[in-house]
Amino acid sequence: MGRATEAKRAAPAAPKAAAPAAGGAPASPARRRLAHALGGAGLLGLGAGGLLAGCGRSAAPQFDGVTLRLGDQQGMTRLLADAADALAGLPYQVEWITFPSPPPLFEAFRGGHVDFTYTNDILALVAATNGLALRLVAASAGEVGGIGIVVPAGSPIRSVADLRGRDVIVSTVRGGIADWLLQGALAEAGVDPREVNVSYALQNDALTAFQTGRVQAWATNDPQLFIAQQSGGRLLRDGTGINSGRGIFVASVEALGQAGKRAAIADLLGRLARAREWANSHLDEFALAYVKRVRFEPEVARAMVGRGRVTLGPLDDSVVAELAALDRKLVERGVVAKAIDVNAIVERGVFGG
């Protein structure tokens, strides 16, 4: 067995990468090593049990010297991969760069510091409209019960229509899933968005404000949504019928143009798809990973994974048509200035065909 190697690097200076929350030691020795390795940005060649090990075999030639730079929001993709032990025998290296929210992640992407990332359908289309050299390579489908608009216990606000003249905080960004829910819910209730005072805040900042009574209404998603409900918050509207639950894996044009990185992206997508299958059928074990890594309370973690099942699949014609329809809505709502040719930014054949 070859000697395991690990090297840590700082994230690029321009996009500030935030270190993920620390967690308790995972149960297996392999996962203890992985948890120890988790940092704001870490360079790992992951092999059997989680670390690069020669085992007397060389990697496939197309992976020689390949390092895939993966932008990871709040460390959630890595948490999934580690929990499912999906990275065993990885024949290339992955540099994990963790970001607290989408804006610095896409800043890093624009600057050429990220090869591959995962985001929601809206932000993927907005990024493409803003000129990022990207391609959509795979899609996920998920549940939307973990996205909602919540008000404090005892609030006089009883419906979305009652948000007229109120202050609403959205976590975290314009065009994000919570913002899309709020805009859709206001339209559904016949409320002009200009009649509502909307501001944006990071999840944990907004949660603190909500729990201390400084928020009239909050559009957010799990785990913060569940925590708010657990502390007495009342749900006005969840994402059913408004949010798509669609996630998108995005790769840079430059990375896809390199045979080794393209092959690594295809391989990693397959591993993440299997990891999602594992997570959906092992909810308690997946929840335990959140408890240990992110220090969620067990009931928060279990609720989050229970109403957040996700499956991963290719960008087939039906998904592309759905994204094109979404892009038209983004133009109608003024989220983007112009429509794009969605087919032109879809890279078929990287995953599932």
CATH of 147-238, one of 3.40.50.2000, 3.30.750.24, 3.30.1540.10, 3.40.190.10: 3.40.190.10
DSSP string, 150-177: EE-TT-S--SGGGGTT-EEEESS-TTSH
Which distant-in-sequence residues (6+ apart) come within 8 Å of 114 by Cβ? Answer: 69, 70, 71, 97, 105, 108, 252
CATH classification of 6-142+245-345 is 3.10.580.10, yes or no?
Answer: no
- Tell whether the model's pLDDT for residue 44 goes beyond 70: no
Residues 146-165: what's their mean pLDDT?
Answer: 96
Q: What distance lies between CA 40 and its chain's CA centroid? A: 16
pLDDT of residue 353: 59
- Structure tokens that stand for 248 in this block: 């998108």
| Whole-number Å distance between alpha carbons of 248 and 159 | 32
For residue 111, give both structure tokens: 């600057």
Tokens of 280: 């959906």
Q: Is the dihedral of CA 180, 181, 183, 187 positive or negative?
A: positive
Whether the ω angle into residue 193 lies within 30 degrees of 0, i.e. cis, is no
* Stated length of the chain: 353
Mean pLDDT of the chain: 84
Environment class of residue 340 by beta-carbon count within 10 Å: exposed (0-12), middle (13-18) or buried (19+)?
middle
Select the more confidently predicted residue: 28 or 198. Answer: 198
Tally Cβ neighbours within 10 Å of residue 234: 15
Name residue 150's beta-bridge partners.
Answer: 218, 235
DSSP at 18: P
- Residue 172: per-residue pLDDT: 76
DSSP-derived 3-state class of residue 236: strand
The pLDDT value given to residue 2: 31
144: three-class secondary structure by DSSP:
coil
Q: How confident is the model at residue 60 (pLDDT cuts 50, 70, 90)?
A: low
Q: Choose the weakest-confidence range: 33-47, 146-160, 195-209.
A: 33-47
Letter for the amino acid at 268? L
Q: What is the pTM of this model?
A: 0.79
Q: Is the pLDDT of residue 167 over 80?
A: yes
Task: Check whether 56 has a pLDDT greater than 90.
Answer: no
**Distance separating alpha carbons of residues 344 and 297, to the nearest angstrom:** 44
Give how far the C-alpha of residue 158 lies from the chain's centroid of Cα atoms, to the nearest Å: 31
Check residue 23 and give its pLDDT. 35
294: amino acid identity, one letter: V
Q: What is the reported pLDDT for 293? A: 87
Answer with the residue of higher pLDDT: 297 or 274.
274
Q: What is the pLDDT of residue 174?
A: 82
28-34 mean pLDDT: 36
Average pLDDT over every residue of 328-353:
91
Band of residue 270 on the pLDDT scale cut at 50, 70, 90: very high
Q: Which of 174-178, 258-262, 307-311, 343-347 has the lowest mean pLDDT?
A: 174-178
Q: Where in the chain is the domain with CATH 3.40.190.10?
A: 6-142+245-345, 147-238
**Backbone angles phi and psi of 289, in degrees to 5:** -65, -40
| Nearest residue to 19 (alpha-carbon basis) of 27, 31, 30, 11 | 11
Q: CB of 39 within 8 A of CB of 66?
A: no
Q: What is the mean pLDDT of residues 279-308?
A: 92
